[in-house]
Amino acid sequence: MKVEVKKVDALKRELRFEIPKDRVNTVLDQVYAEIGKHAKIKGFRPGKVPRHILAGSHGKLAQEETIKKIIPQAYHEGIHQEQLNPIDLPEITDVALNDGILKFTATLDIRPEVKVGDYKGIKVARKDSTVTEEDINKTLEFFKKGRGEGGEIKIDDAFANGMGFPSLDEFKKALTRQLEMDKDRQNRIDIENQIVDHLIKNAKLIVPQSLVKRQLEHRLYDTLRRLKAQGMSDEDLKKKEEELRQGLDSVVERDVKVFLILEQIAKEEKIEAAGEHERVPEKVMEFLLKEAKWEEAK
């Protein structure tokens, strides 16, 4: 097997494969043997059909199956032989089987080198989670408007009863607990964003565009499918797709960059997922939060 490697850019590699006749014929023989077991041809029992008869009726199928079998095997042998570390699935093009020789091209992005910079002791500022009387009153006003009558409603025990609580005092206590939880959750997101911003600012890496493209298409598909389920027309979906594509492009690139940085930190700190429900990026973020220098936001 011949493999020629061409460096397209910093990460992209183009591998041109040439599979010799003897290997192609060996696989082709195996494929014909499988086809022959099940082929129904008048005058012959299954498994007893001569090769030239099978070639006449199933030749195209045999070639297609041979190509399907060889390409993945040859590709994995090739990247191992050339000591390449792909970050995603390759793009296979220029497939041709002529005179018994199979040729194809595999284009791929290799895993980039990631220099993460300092990631221990990141300074983070945590906002206060205290719920004020003003917070409570604003939320109560929101509930009033939600009831559709606005200013006509009095905030009293009767109002609390209508919300499913025995008294206004109990309703306010429950509201305070909920608002504290909401603030805590938002503050956690804010702190994680501070850490992510620091990591991106200090890391050095080239983002593989094939990975960005794959993630972008995946998110677009999910979003458009959800909008279609909500009743959006095909015409509006087409308009929305272009809008979403432009909006998601930079977001997805940032997310891929963060993923690669967290993956590198996991490698350096030997952080692994303990079970199928654990995710390495989440474990790395927990590690970074423990290592961070905390202070109260002014």
pLDDT in tens, 195-213: 999 999 999 999 999 899 9
pLDDT of amino acid 41: 78
Residues 171 and 266 grouped into a single domain:
yes
Percent residues over pLDDT 70 in the chain: 99
- For the chain, how many residues are written? 298
Is the Cβ–Cβ distance between 135 and 222 less than 8 Å?
no
C-alpha span between 124 and 295 (Å, rounded): 6
C-alpha span between 272 and 145 (Å, rounded): 49
Residues 72 and 158 grouped into a single domain:
no
Residues 130 and 253 grouped into a single domain:
yes
Percent residues over pLDDT 90 in the chain: 69
CATH number of 35's domain: 3.30.70.1050
Residues 236 and 258 grouped into a single domain:
yes
The two beta strands, 2-7 and 91-98, are: unpaired
Residues 82 and 34 grouped into a single domain:
yes
| Residue 151 clears pLDDT 70, i.e. is over it | no
Number of domains in the chain: 2
Q: Give the neighbor-by-neighbor strand order of the sheet with 91-98.
A: 2-7, 12-19, 101-109, 91-98
Higher pLDDT, 274 or 122: 122
Task: Please report whether residue 12 resides in a domain.
Answer: yes
Residues 172 and 49 grouped into a single domain:
no
pLDDT confidence band for 174 (50 / 70 / 90): very high
Residues 128 and 265 grouped into a single domain:
yes
Task: Please report whether residue 81 resides in a domain.
Answer: yes
Averaged pLDDT, 139-156? 80
Task: Please report whether residue 117 resides in a domain.
Answer: no
Residue 284 phi, psi dihedral angles, 5° rounding: -65, -40
Q: At what angle do helices 51-81 and 21-38 cross, to 10 degrees?
A: 130
Domain boundary among 75, 109, 143: 109
- For the stretch 225-260, pLDDT in tens is 999 899 989 888 888 888 888 888 889 999 999 999
Beta-bridged to residue 287, according to DSSP, are: none
Beta-bridged to residue 93, according to DSSP, are: 105
Beta-bridged to residue 106, according to DSSP, are: 15, 92
C-alpha span between 241 and 232 (Å, rounded): 12
Neighbouring C-beta atoms of residue 187, cutoff 10 Å: 16
**Average per-residue pLDDT for the chain:** 91
Domain boundary among 48, 81, 109: 109
Averaged pLDDT, 273-289? 88
pLDDT of amino acid 38: 79
Task: Please report whether residue 275 resides in a domain.
Answer: yes
Residues 187 and 241 grouped into a single domain:
yes
Higher pLDDT, 109 or 36: 109
Residues 90 and 132 grouped into a single domain:
no
pLDDT of amino acid 226: 93
The two tokens of residue 185 are 């959750």
Task: Please report whether residue 259 resides in a domain.
Answer: yes
Residues 130 and 64 grouped into a single domain:
no
Residues 221 and 177 grouped into a single domain:
yes
- For the stretch 56-76, pLDDT in tens is 888 899 999 999 999 999 999
Of the candidates 103, 25, 115, 114, which has an alpha carbon nearest to the alpha carbon of residue 62? 25
Task: Please report whether residue 206 resides in a domain.
Answer: yes
Task: Please report whether residue 209 resides in a domain.
Answer: yes
Task: Please report whether residue 115 resides in a domain.
Answer: no
pLDDT of amino acid 149: 66
Averaged pLDDT, 15-37? 93
pLDDT of amino acid 148: 66
Q: At what angle do helices 234-269 and 168-202 cross, to 10 degrees?
A: 70
Domain boundary among 50, 74, 109: 109
pLDDT confidence band for 146 (50 / 70 / 90): confident
Expressed as residue numbers, the domain containing 255 is: 123-296
3-class SS letters over the chain? CEEEEEECCCCEEEEEEEECHHHHHHHHHHHHHHHHHHCCCCCCCCCCCCHHHHHHHHHHHHHHHHHHHHHHHHHHHHHHHCCCCECCCCEEEEEEEECCEEEEEEEEEECCCCECCCCCCCEEEECCCCCCHHHHHHHHHHHHHHCCCHHHCCCCHHHHHHCCCCCHHHHHHHHHHHHHHHHHHHHHHHHHHHHHHHHHHHCECCCCHHHHHHHHHHHHHHHHHHHHHCCCCHHHHHHHHHHHHHHHHHHHHHHHHHHHHHHHHHHHHCCCCCCCCCCHHHHHHHHHHHHCEEEECC
Residues 101 and 137 grouped into a single domain:
no
| Residue 280 clears pLDDT 80, i.e. is over it | yes
C-alpha span between 61 and 38 (Å, rounded): 13
pTM of the model: 0.79
